[in-house]
Structure 1
Amino acid sequence: MRIKKLEELSQKYNNSCIIISGDPNVYYFTNYKGAGSIIYCDGVATLLAPLLEENRAREISGLDVKIYYPSNIANGILVGSLSDILPKLITKNTVALDINWSTVNVYRLLSSKYNLIDISKDISEMRSIKDDEELEKIKKAGEITSEAMKVSMEKILEGEITEKQLSGIIDYTMKASGAEDYAFPSIVAAGKNSSFPHHIPTDKKILENDNVVVDIGAKFDGYCFDSTRTFNVKGEVRKIYEIVLEAQLEAIDAVTSGVNASEIDKTARKVIEKYGYGRYFVHSTGHGVGIEVHESPYISFNSNDVLKKNMVITVEPGIYIKDKFGVRIEDTLIVTNGKPEVLETAYKLL
């Protein structure tokens, strides 16, 4: 558990009480996956959980657990909603809160009674730098994703399969290989459908001449992975593929601790613009990966983030030409003080 980090954060803000909400944040600090909030006051961390999560909360969190329920049905249960319960446990005039994960009701209540400090940036930065345990889980998620990516490539080569069928096989492969879930709904986009970056798989049959964008990621023990490959690149698609690959490789080469995240985006974008396809690169170059598949740092042209050792990010430039096709190539990588560690799932030259 990382509760000690809350102690350090409390001290940073004059020993204020800290409230942590949001499933990803609660999991980060406790390994407990479920509804609830953490309140840290006077050196004591308490997990507040609804009645239906009582058994799991007590078994997993390792914290003092207090259970709440809307009505009084048993002794020892706090009566009311979370916003009703929190004031009974706060012992300070100042409360530090991750506002990004606060409900409107909780925010209104706390702002009317206490001096509020927004610690959303602190929590985001804390989670963005992974420890060894987190890195191992992400690597394992990558190994599982790699298995599914290889299966998808084989199925495309075999033919006679639809986008929806292939996405189902991918999801099954990840689960069968040890994933607890997929990090996001698997994307399989063939032919013209590949021009939509977040295409939802359909019953379209993948034809022999269709290029296929496969964007997938496994989730292992709470941690995500993200990888994209474009398969069956021929003709005009090959030309665009080579441009995207050049942009991706140059951007990866620029990744190191101390570099502004915006520079990575600019590096990829500059290559694509050089070939006259700048307006077809319609999203940022990447994002952080961890408990959430999209988290800090953000690899975009207007990002203020600075890369640090043990951040995990994606680099994923793409070109999308409406009514024709799209190409995206994405790797997840670990930032180091030198060249990044690239966690590849499949060969990029096919």
Structure 2
Amino acid sequence: MSEYESPSSIHLSNLIKKTKEKGYDGLLLTEPNNIKYLSNYDTKSFAFAILSDNPVVYATELDLENAKLNSQIEVRKFESLSALNDDLVKEGLTNFAIESTLPISLYEKFSDKFSGKLNLTIDHLIEDERMVKSYDEIVKIQEATKIAQKAFTDLDVLSKYDSGASEWEVSYELGRLMRDYGAESESFDTIVTSGSNSSLPHAEPEHKELETPILIDWGAKYKGYCSDNTRTIVFSEKQQEIFDIVLEAHDKTIESIKEGMKACEVDKIARDIIAEYGYGDKYIHSTGHSLGLDIHENPNVSTRTETVLEKNMFITVEPGIYLEGNFGVRVEDTVLIDKKAHVIGDLPRIII
């Protein structure tokens, strides 16, 4: 595949075109994964990119060699904002779209330094571009999922429970196995929680023996791209009852997903099923989110998200019921959007 045909180059061309169509001189980016997305340069210090007819990445001296070795677009050394101002004036660039994640402190620095000469407008150009994945990105997310699911299977959580292992031990070993199998890191801090703490959706692993039920939310990062799964292992009759409701919401939602649906419609399917069983007020988070270079990307799958699902978008489907002070259940898979939803990976929903 030539440089021009690479995923970064395709996204770059798309964004430059859309930036021009909206009347901007360029797109100013500072978020590291946005820079990596378009240049293949994984910044380890402060950097920013300006996308125009002649896209440029500005890197500090600390990271300049790394940038020159990996970036698919021109690299310049960042000297100062004054020097940057000279470059922009020389090229006649003053009207910029900026990412919505640009820190306020940096926005103020740009605004103050250029004394009103630079017009910065928040636009979701890059966030929207990142929603639809290229073939290369799809393959990386599939591989990240494969790694994470193999690690979970080989870990054998039930044997850990029988041997009296702690939540922290299970979390640590799952992370180690993912790295052994090719992950560069975990997608996020692995959640291993059990007993009454499982009613906390973002509980942290504790140095205590596993209790029941056991909820594990984990993912691997492979070549920059994330995976995300959750499994809950239940033991008692009441836990099984709640699990069955959550699993029904999970499965029927995935069966209903198709290209052209709104994200809020997906959320409503899962939410309505859980509400029918009387647990609507115990479903306390959105139904899912997209992922890619970041574990949480647009679109969010929530009651308010009007984004229309397109082919080659990824979303997670993760309904849950949380009985405060008692226990919680969540089941999560990542799906690829097409005429219908394709579940990534083959990990059983029921762990026995």
Calculate the TM-score normalised by the size of structure 2: 0.90
Contact kept, 8 Å, 1:167 with 1:188, in 2: the verdict is yes
**2:171 alignment counterpart:** 167
Alignment pair present for 1:54 and 2:56: no
Instruction: Tell me, in whole angstroms, the C-alpha distance in 1 between the residues paired with 2:235 and 2:347.
Output: 15
Instruction: Tell me, in whole angstroms, the C-alpha distance in 1 between the residues paired with 2:147 and 2:139.
Output: 13
Within 5 Å, give how 1:154-193 maps onto structure 2. Answer: 154-156=158-160, 158-193=162-197
**1:289 alignment counterpart:** 291
Task: Return closer, same or farther for 1:228/1:85 CA change in 2, 3 Å cut-off.
Answer: farther
**1:259 alignment counterpart:** 261
Letter in 1 for 2:182: G
Say which SS state the counterpart of residue 51 (structure 2) adopts: strand
Say which SS state the counterpart of residue 101 (structure 2) adopts: helix
Contact kept, 8 Å, 2:132 with 2:312, in 1: the verdict is yes
Contact kept, 8 Å, 1:179 with 1:219, in 2: the verdict is yes
**2:326 alignment counterpart:** 324
Task: Return closer, same or farther for 1:309/1:141 CA change in 2, 3 Å cut-off.
Answer: same
Q: How many residues align?
A: 333
- The sequence identity of aligned pairs, in percent, is 32
Say which SS state the counterpart of residue 228 (structure 1) adopts: strand
Instruction: Tell me, in whole angstroms, the C-alpha distance in 1 between the residues paired with 2:194 and 2:299.
Output: 30
**2:13 alignment counterpart:** 4
Deviation readout 1:166-192 (Å, 9 max, x if unpaired)? 000010011111001111000000111
Contact kept, 8 Å, 2:157 with 2:170, in 1: the verdict is no
**2:85 alignment counterpart:** 87
Instruction: Tell me, in whole angstroms, the C-alpha distance in 2 between the residues paired with 1:224 and 1:341.
Output: 17
Instruction: Tell me, in whole angstroms, the C-alpha distance in 2 between the residues paired with 1:52 and 1:241.
Output: 51
Say which SS state the counterpart of residue 315 (structure 2) adopts: strand
Calculate the TM-score normalised by the size of structure 1: 0.91
Within 5 Å, give how 1:117-196 maps onto structure 2. Answer: 117-119=121-123, 121-150=124-153, 151-156=155-160, 158-196=162-200
Instruction: Tell me, in whole angstroms, the C-alpha distance in 1 between the residues paired with 2:315 and 2:71.
Output: 28
Instruction: Tell me, in whole angstroms, the C-alpha distance in 1 between the residues paired with 2:97 and 2:107.
Output: 16
Alignment pair present for 1:45 and 2:55: yes
Deviation readout 1:4-42 (Å, 9 max, x if unpaired)? 22321332133612212201100110111113111124x
Task: Return closer, same or farther for 1:17/1:111 CA change in 2, 3 Å cut-off.
Answer: farther
The runs of 4+ residues in structure 1 deviating greater than 4 Å are: none
Instruction: Tell me, in whole angstroms, the C-alpha distance in 2 between the residues paired with 1:141 and 1:173.
Output: 13
Letter in 2 for 1:182: E
RMSD: 1.7
Deviation readout 1:173-221 (Å, 9 max, x if unpaired)? 11111001111000000111111100000011014xx110000000000
Letter in 2 for 1:226: D
Per-residue deviation, 1:108? 2.6
Unaligned runs of 5+ in 1: 69-77
Per-residue deviation, 1:137? 0.2
**1:216 alignment counterpart:** 218
**1:24 alignment counterpart:** 33
Instruction: Tell me, in whole angstroms, the C-alpha distance in 2 between the residues paired with 1:111 and 1:21.
Output: 20
